[in-house]
Amino acid sequence: MGLKNCPECGKLFVSGTIPMCPACYEQEEKDEMKIVEYLREKNKASMEEIHEATGVKERTIFRMIKAGRFMGISDISYPCEVCGTLIFGGRMCDKCNTDFLEQVKKSNLDRAAKVQIESDKNRGAGMYSRERDRYR
Ligand SMILES: [Zn+2]
Ligand SMILES: [Zn+2]
């Protein structure tokens, strides 16, 4: 319990069981109803389609998807945080997720190599100079 800024409108409110101010919470419940209504007629929908059909802010829809509010009603796709490919779960598409894990692995295994890759990238010619080295 305590005073918090509402993540939606920025007003101060007493935080308790709900994560935002009562006015925004009420609005969000209405928004959620609208989306659920819309999804009832669909097996699949993208975040963009929902936004266009209901007028609910994409940020709000996204938050609801993450909270699992529409689970079991419909498969909702939304863009991967990295490349924008439409995905149905998590934060990134499979490809970016794999890339990300690879990067983490690499940086753990060999920090020096990663620094090298970064500086190559900054020069903008890393790939090509390495290719040349290989065939020399
Ligand atoms: Zn608010
Ligand atoms: Zn991606």
**Domain extents for the chain?**
21-79, 94-135
pLDDT of residue 6: 93
> CB of 39 within 8 A of CB of 46?
no
| Amino acid 66: pLDDT | 83
| Burial grade of 24 (CB within 10 A; 0-12, 13-18, 19 or more) | buried
At residue 76, the 3 state secondary structure works out as strand
How remote is the CA of residue 34 from the centroid of ligand 1, in Å? Answer: 19
The ligand whose atoms approach the alpha carbon of 13 most closely is 1
pLDDT (tens digit per residue) in 19-77: 899 999 999 999 999 999 999 988 889 999 999 999 999 989 988 988 888 888 888 99
Nearest bound ligand to CA 6?
1
Give me ligand 1 centre to Cα 103, in Å.
39
Ligand nearest to the CA of 83: 2
Instruction: Give 114's pLDDT tier (boundaries 50, 70, 90).
Output: low
Cβ atoms within 10 Å of 28's Cβ, excluding its own: 20
Structure tokens at 74: 């419909």
| DSSP secondary structure of 2-32 | EEEE-TTT--EEEESSSSS-HHHHHHHHHHH
Structure confidence at residue 124 as a pLDDT band (50, 70, 90)? low
68 SS3 class: coil
More confident residue, 69 or 113: 69
Q: Which ligand is nearest to the CA of 84?
A: 2
Ligand 2 centre distance from Cα of residue 87 (Å): 8
- 121 by Cβ neighbours in 10 Å (0-12 / 13-18 / 19+) ranks as exposed
- Give the pLDDT confidence score for residue 85 in this predicted structure: 94
**pLDDT computed for residue 16 by the predictor:** 85
Higher pLDDT, 113 or 103: 103
| Ligand 2 centre distance from Cα of residue 26 (Å) | 34
Q: How many Å apart are CA 43 and CA 127, to the nearest integer?
A: 44
Q: What is the pLDDT of residue 128?
A: 53
Looking at residue 90, the DSSP 8-state letter turns out to be: S
Minimum-distance ligand to the CA of 9?
A: 1
pLDDT of amino acid 110? 75
Among residues of the chain, what percentage have pLDDT more than 70? 85
